[in-house]
Chain A
Amino acid sequence: GAVVSQHPSRVICKSGTSVKIECRSLDFQATTMFWYRQFPKKSLMLMATSNEGSKATYEQGVEKDKFLINHASLTLSTLTVTSAHPEDSSFYICSARESETSGSDNEQFFGPGTRLTVL
Chain B
Amino acid sequence: GQNIDQPTEMTATEGAIVQINCTYQTSGFNGLFWYQQHAGEAPTFLSYNVLDGLEEKGRFSSFLSRSKGYSYLLLKELQMKDSASYLCAVRDGDNFNKFYFGSGTKLNVKP
Contact = CB atoms under 8 A, between A and B. Distances in A.
A49 B97 contact: yes
Interface of A: 1, 4, 32, 34, 41-46, 49, 91, 93, 97, 102-103, 105, 107-113, 115
Interface string B78-90: 0000000001010
A46 B98 contact: yes
Given A44-B43, A110-B42, A105 B101 contact: no
B97 A32 contact: yes
Given A49-B97, A105-B48, A105-B50, A112 B103 contact: no
Contact of A42 (B42, B50, B97, B103): B103
Given A32-B97, A105-B50, A112 B41 contact: yes
Contact of A43 (B41, B42, B103): B103
Interface of A is mostly: strand
A97 B31 CA distance: 15
A43 B102 contact: yes
B71 to A, nearest CB: 15
A4 B43 CA distance: 12
A112 B37 CA distance: 10
Contacts of A115: 40
Contacts of A46: 98-99
Contacts of B89: 44
